[in-house]
Structure 1
Amino acid sequence: MELIKNRVTQKMILKEKIKVVITDLDGTLLNSDHKISDYTKTIFKELHKKNYLLIVATGRHHLDAQAIVATLDCPVYLVTSNGARIHSPDNELLFSVDMKSELVKAIFDLEIDAEITSVLFKEDKWQTNHNNDALNSFSKESKYLPEIVNFESLEDFSAIKIFFTHDDHQKLVELKDKILHTYSDLFCHAFSLPFCLEFMDKSVNKSVAIEKILQLEKYAFEESISFGDGFNDEEMLKSAGKGLLMGNAPQSLIDTLPHLEQILSNDNDGVATYLSQQLLTN
């Protein structure tokens, strides 16, 4: 009986405290088919009706993410490219930062293994050295399309974000160490997935971008609940008043954030189920 009372009390405290809902996309709000379920859409519409501020923070490009978030059919702030872009619910660009061409080129001059798929996020397209079917599957219906290029002859390396993907995680770890050995002061990095290594401008971070939105809307991180499954979500999860790890998060992230509660996986509507139980039901 005492345990039930404690759970009810904790739920009441959470409901009174939380005013902002923050979520990652891939591996979190999206299922393995890279879709938002109908159940999740219903829950987010209900959250909007109850005046919760909704923020989606993703590593995806804004052209890609905007099409996905639009299916929620409710106003959502959008943080993309791990914080390099912020768009309002009306798709107005509020903040942007890019990586300088000469700095990105310096990374590509380090002789990257030709087996690794390299990608530059440009404003209207992504440039890559390989046609990668696994990568393409993340954006089947997107208008943000790839362009195959030869990085050895490319002249303009300016980018919103760069990332590298390979099935062998250790290859990416070795590349990360190689880049950071020389350029640790110029870039920040994260493994959004074990097979996806991302580099951004040193100032870019999901948590930093979200803080800008919270200040604009006159909220504090302590009033937020956040959901994520990757290392690019780490600071966001630690900053939120309540951070929650997806059941499908990698063990390495779980070990890094052992104090955080785990919820159901993305394929089991973990985010929507938790929000429904904790914020929308009495």
Structure 2
Amino acid sequence: MVKLITVDLDGTLLNESSQISKKNLDAIRSAQANGIEVVIATGRAHFDVQTIFKHTDIKTWIIGANGATIHHPDGKIFYSEPINRENAAGILSWLEQEEYYYEVFSNHSIFTPQNGKELLAIEMDRAISANPKVSIDRMKHAANKQFSQTGYTFINSYKDLLEKDIDIYNILAFSFNAEKLQQGWQKFHQAKDVTIVTSANHNFELEHKNASKGNALKILANKLNIKLAETAAVGDSFNDISMLKIAGRSAAMGNADTEIKKLCHEVTLSNQEDGVAHFIDTLTR
């Protein structure tokens, strides 16, 4: 019997308009009414998730920043695994030097460069010049989706953060330049103190080496005295792999990459077809 279900957010619970459908909300309520612990597991900051659920009656555990934080349903922090500040400073220094748009997820804010939108606008112009057939609308949609998060604080440089008493949980780099993204992967994929994952076509994200959705799921299941065999997980992207692999039952969204679908026990409907509700329904029958 499933006692806990972990649900990814973007591309999973959220549709292409970044909204949670009534059917998905009702499915979460039904699961909770049946005694199933529902957990949101996302690369987003926990306060951004709280904003998304603000106008609902639903409160859940939140695994945020790709597993670097776990927050109680009441919003209190239960667990965190921040990046070493010296390591974070080195990463951010390189990202600024290479002119990446980046976001730094901390306790209460997402810090991002003051000129971030200008950097992405320049990249879009270059992408269009290099390939006139590239979809401008898709790039704008991706950028707008990134900017739709809540809790932004703008900074002139990462050096502004070094004077602040904050924990750094996640560093996200975003670019429309495929070669630039590959350069970032090559730079950090063998780093000893951080892990690198991706949650969308145009980004890579860095966390503490011990931070992952899978590790967070283990920690939370242990806290709640639930066996991993009694857990389920549903997601669509590569930052979900760690939790999909260890959950007792796993489902890939219909819109997920083929590689994600292959490693899951089953494939549910897409995020445009209320795939989360469909999966939850199979768990509570």
TM-score by length of 2: 0.82
1:235 counterpart residue number: 242
How far 1:138 sits from its partner (Å)? Answer: 4.5
Check the 8 A contact 1:98/1:201 in 2, yes or no. yes
Deviation at 1:117, TM superposition (A): 1.1
Matched, 1:61 2:45: yes
Q: Which residue of 2 aligns with 1:9?
A: none
Q: Secondary structure at the match of 1:91?
A: coil
Unmatched 5+ stretches in structure 1: 1-16
Counterpart position of 1:39: 23
Structure 1 residues 102-111 or 225-234, which shifts more?
Answer: 102-111
Amino acid in structure 1 at the alignment position of 2:231:
S
Contact 1:221 1:239 in 2 (8 A): yes
Instruction: Quote the Cα distance in structure 1 between the aligned partners of 2:79 and 2:91.
Output: 25
The letter of the residue matching 1:55 is: V
2-structure distance, mates of 1:224, 1:197 = 27
Contact 2:245 2:264 in 1 (8 A): no
Query: How many angstroms apart in 1 are the aligned matches of 2:154 and 2:242?
Result: 32
Mapping for residues 16-55 of structure 1, pairs under 5 Å: 17-55=1-39
**Does the CA-based 8 Å contact 2:66-2:239 persist in structure 1?**
yes
Using a 3 Å threshold, how does the CA distance of structure 1 residues 170 and 230 change in structure 2: closer, same or farther? farther
Q: Distance in 2 between matches of 1:267 and 1:246?
A: 10
Distance 1:274 1:25, change over 3 A: same
Q: Check whether the contact 1:99–1:161 (CA below 8 A) recurs between aligned residues.
A: yes
- 1:76-87 residue pairs with structure 2 within 5 A? 76-87=60-71
**Number of the residue aligned with 1:264:** 269
Rounded to whole Å, the distance in 2 between the matches of 1:233 and 1:111 is 24
Structural RMSD (CA): 2.3
Counterpart for residue 224 of structure 2:
217
Post-superposition Cα deviations, 1:158-204, rounded to whole Å, max 9, x if no partner, equal 622101011234421221111235xx111011011121200001111
User: 5+ residue gaps in structure 2?
Assistant: 121-139
Scaled by the length of structure 1, what TM-score is found?
Answer: 0.83
Relative to structure 2, which stretch is displaced further, 155-164 or 23-32? 155-164
Does the 8 A contact of 1:112 with 1:175 survive in 2? no
Residues 1:260 and 1:113: Cα distance change in structure 2 (over 3 Å): farther
Identity %: 27
Does the alignment pair 1:196 with 2:193?
no
Letter in 1 for 2:145: S
Instruction: Give the corresponding residue for 1:171.
Output: 180
Counterpart in the other structure of 2:213 = 206
Aligned to 1:137: 145
Counterpart Cα distance in 2 of 1:19 and 1:247: 24
> How big is the shift at 1:121?
1.4
**Does the aligned pair in 1 maintain the 2:112–2:152 contact within 8 Å?**
no
